[in-house]
């Protein structure tokens, strides 16, 4: 039996969704965030990094959402949710599996952290903290995130999903940064394909079933 160690409002929602797409049985062990938004210490008993998602499958314990999705698809997919090796779709599949956490999430995470600094420092420092936070957003994060959005919009201009015209686990992996981006930055009228991507994935029956299994899913702004 597969167990998903699921932290509320987190990347592990993707793993529940993938398991629902695959039609597998699994159990969910839920964890609440601490007031600091960190995962509780009990997750460290499952994996030394104490992050979510983590799954156990028999004697395997596996962390890192991209690795988990690839493991599940390879072991249980029976040819579904990953393009065949040697195709252009497969190269794009690998690219977006890596890109989601390697390139896009760090920018969105920095935006979250810098945006919260002013409210977390002692009040006499807040005006200075706000200046630093706003300047970082304006000169560094904002333009880079806009560049990534334009790139992703152009990628979806000629095909339905990130790897090709078929839905794959790369779309599951891309869902979290794009849902986070929709919550933290929003997609304006110049990004209709990204908005449509998020709408289409949220309409999938397996996505909805995963929400029922995982509990409330409110991405941090």
Ligand X SMILES: N[C@@H](CCC(=O)N[C@@H](CS)C(=O)NCC(=O)O)C(=O)O
Residues that bind ligand X (CB under 6 A): 7, 10-11, 38-39, 51-53, 64-65, 101
Burial of 17-37, coded b for 16+ CB within 10 Å and e otherwise, reads: bbbbbbeeebebeebeeeeee
Taking the complex as a whole, how short is the minimal distance between the CB of residue 133 and ligand X, in angstroms?
A: 21
Q: Which of 105/146 has CB closer to ligand X? A: 105
CB of 38 to ligand X, least distance (A): 4
- Cα–Cα distance between 181 and 178 in angstroms, integer? 5
Helix (H/G/I), strand (E/B), else coil: 119: helix
Min dist CB 64 to ligand X, Å, is 5
Q: Which of 181, 221, 210 is nearest to 198 (CA)?
A: 181
Task: Please say which residue, 105 or 159, places its beta carbon nearer to ligand X.
Answer: 105
Q: Which is nearer to ligand X, 65 or 133 (CB)?
A: 65
SS3 state at 165: coil
Nearer to ligand X, 104 or 163 (CB): 104
In whole angstroms, the minimum distance from the beta carbon of 163 to ligand X comes to 18
Number of helices followed by number of strands (H, E) in the chain: 9, 4
């Amino acid at each position: 039996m597969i167990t998903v160690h699921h932290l509320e409002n987190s990347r592990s929602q993707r793993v529940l969704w993938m398991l629902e797409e695959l039609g597998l049985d699994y159990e969910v062990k839920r964890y609440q965030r601490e007031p600091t938004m960190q995962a509780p210490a009990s997750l460290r008993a499952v994996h030394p990094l104490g992050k979510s998602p983590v799954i156990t499958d028999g004697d395997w314990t596996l962390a890192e959402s991209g690795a988990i999705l690839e493991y599940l698809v390879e072991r249980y997919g029976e040819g579904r949710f990953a393009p065949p090796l040697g195709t252009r779709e497969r190269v794009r599949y690998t690219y977006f599996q890596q890109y989601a956490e390697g390139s896009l999430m760090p920018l969105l995470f920095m935006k979250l952290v810098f945006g919260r600094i002013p409210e977390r420092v002692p009040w006499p420092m807040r005006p200075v903290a706000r200046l630093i936070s706003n300047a970082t957003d304006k000169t560094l994060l904002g333009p880079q995130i806009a560049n990534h959005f334009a790139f992703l919009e152009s990628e979806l201009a000629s095909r339905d999903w990130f790897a090709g015209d078929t839905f794959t686990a790369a779309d599951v992996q891309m869902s979290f940064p794009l849902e986070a981006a929709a919550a933290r930055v929003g997609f304006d009228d110049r990004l209709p394909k990204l908005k449509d991507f998020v709408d289409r994935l949220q309409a999938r029956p397996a996505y909805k079933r995963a929400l029922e299994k995982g509990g409330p899913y409110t991405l941090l702004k």
